[in-house]
Amino acid sequence: MSTEKGQVTVRVTEDSRALLRWLSEVEGRSMQSVLRSALEVYRRQRFLDEVNAGYAELRNDRRSWEEWTTERELWDRTLADGLVAEPKGRYGAARSRRPSRPSQKKRA
């Protein structure tokens, strides 16, 4: 691999390069952008596969699965606790309860 300005060269088969070039042309994006997107999809799929494997393992242990479902049911009840939902701020996070700072006036 060679490096230049934060980039590296990775060897791929000619078929992989041809596919990458074709996808790049079809989507109107650079090969780097297509490859970055493909890697992100692959990373997410691996994550979900690992989560699913974890749940499968948990489900195979009857006692642990029952504990998990009991706890989940307890948490699910909190959704119907009668409280009014707090308004959401930017990015879906609850807004801060701290009072806003008074604006500082410039002195002449």
Specify the pLDDT at position 33: 95
Specify the pLDDT at position 82: 72
Domain ranges (residues) in the chain: 3-79
Specify the pLDDT at position 14: 97
Specify the pLDDT at position 45: 97
Specify the pLDDT at position 30: 96
Specify the pLDDT at position 7: 86
Sign of CA dihedral 46, 48, 54, 60: negative
Residue spans of alpha helices (H) in 5-106: 14-27, 31-60, 62-77
> Residues in the chain with pLDDT < 50?
none
pTM of the full structure: 0.61
Specify the pLDDT at position 16: 96
Which residues lie across from 7 on neighbouring strands? 4
